[in-house]
Amino acid sequence: MLKKDEIYRVFVEESREILTALETDLLDLEKDIHNEEIINRVFRAVHTLKGGSGMVEFSVLTDLTHEWENVLARLRAGEIKASPRLISLFLEAVDTLKRLIEQPPARVPETLRGEVARTIDQLRRYHGVETVSDGPAKRPADGREKFGEKYLNIVLKFRPDIYLAGTDPLLLIKELTEQGDIVRLRCDTDALPPLDQLRPDTLYLSWELVLRTEKPLSAVENIFIFVRDENTILLDDVSHRFKDGVDLQYADKKLGEILEEEGLVDRRDLEEAIGEQKRAGEILLEKKKLDSRALDEVLRRQQRSKEIAQTSTLRVDTGKLDKLVNLVGEMVIGVARMSQTVQSGPLAHNRDMNDTLDHLERISRDVQEQVMRVRMVPVEATFRRFQRVVRDIASDLGKRINLYLSGIETEIDKTVVEHLDDPLKHLIRNAVDHGIESPEERVKRGKPADGSVWLRAYQQEGKIIIEVEDDGSGIDRERLVRKAKEAGIALSAEMTDQELYGLLFLPGFSTARKVTELSGRGVGLDVVKRNIESLRGAIEVYSEKGSGTLFRLKLPLTLAIIDGMRVAVGSEILTIPLLSIIEAIRPAPDGIKTIEGKGELIEFRGEYLPLIRLYEILGFEDAITNPEEAIVIILESGIRRMALLVDDVIGQHQAVIKSLETNFRRIEGVSGATILGDGRVSIILDIHGIEHLAFGGHRAPEVVA
Active site residues: 47, 69, 430
Closest Cα partner for 430 from 533, 499, 508, 512? 512
CA distance 529 to 535: 10
CA distance 703 to 705: 6
CA distance 2 to 74: 37
CA distance 561 to 495: 36
For every residue of 440-491, which 3-state class applies, written as one string? HHHHHCCCCCCEEEEEEEEEECCEEEEEEEECCCCCCHHHHHHHHHHCCCCC
Q: Could you tell me where the DSSP H helices lie in 81-129?
A: 84-101, 110-124
CA distance 238 to 249: 11
CA distance 413 to 464: 10
- Whole-angstrom CA distances from 487 to 216, 435, 482, 507, 530 are 68, 22, 9, 11, 21
Closest Cα partner for 223 from 151, 303, 125, 154? 154
Residues, the chain, total? Answer: 705
On whether the CB atoms of residues 656 and 560 are closer than 8 A, the answer is yes
Closest Cα partner for 688 from 585, 608, 580? 580
On whether the CB atoms of residues 3 and 296 are closer than 8 A, the answer is yes
Instruction: Kindly tell me the sign of the dihedral angle through the C-alpha atoms of 477, 479, 482, 484.
Output: negative
SS3 425: helix
Q: In one letter, which amino acid is 136?
A: P
